[in-house]
Structure 1
Amino acid sequence: MKLNKYFLPLIIIAFAFFIIGFGVGINGIMVPILEQTFSLSKGMSYLVLTATFSAFLIFGGPSGWVVKKIGYKKSLIIALFIMSMGMFLFIPSAKMSASMAGFYLFLVASFIGGIGNTLLQTTINPYVAIIEPVEKAAQRMC
């Protein structure tokens, strides 16, 4: 069986969609855990989701500019780097769980992860559409 030249990029894109889901989903899972760990009210605990999704609002436009300026591949790499920086900041946040500083660091980490997630979505959604000839676009969407 002969693999076409688009197979590897499409596998990478599929993996990137998994990362997007993980990056958004992990924050939802963490809300009750943070609520218990830091003795937070419901309102305070949902600041985690606010921190994540406010990055989409703030960096949606600039992400498009970044993709246009440096291209899809470089934007993908930068997005993954930013997202992993946010995820790695969860580690010191967990070690600081005895104080509210750990919660605030978690909020910052969630915001940074949200920035990476925004850039990642801005990059890969249109990249799927242009990676192969237009005639095959319907096949990719299935």
Structure 2
Amino acid sequence: MFRHTIAVAASIAAIFPLAACAQTARPHLDYDAAAAVRDGCLALAETEGWNMAVSVHDGAGDLVTFAAMDDAIPAVTEVARWKGHAAATFRFSTATMREWNAPNVPNIATVGGGVPLFTEAGEPLGGVGASGASQEQDIECAEAGATAAGLRTSRP
């Protein structure tokens, strides 16, 4: 009986390290990449004369970085966060979500300006929300931020 218990315990102990070794880390959106997204969007907004708020979220929808330009109206700060969170968690652009005709789905954003962020290989990283100009300009700003950080806004 004692030998059987030791054999079972040894087998279990041998399996656990293998399970840990088999796991691979998913890419995540670090602060430097998120800041590059934010700053890329703000640079375009400054050039174009748009008064924007930009919100960058990780893959779980948690806020990584946020900025609002001095002349951005207060309401756009929450709208940018809403768009960025939705793009990060649904992994689709908010313009695409608008086409789903599902405005009552919790946490969905149906106004253009939120785009998901992916690695070059198509791994999801998070999302960015931009607000303060027209929907088309908000989208352009968010996409400029992703481009500045070397990220994709759609899967390959």
TM-score (normalizing by structure 2): 0.28
Q: Of the two, which has the highest radius of gyration? A: 2
Structure with more of its chain in strand, by fraction: 2
Structure with more of its chain in helix, by fraction: 1
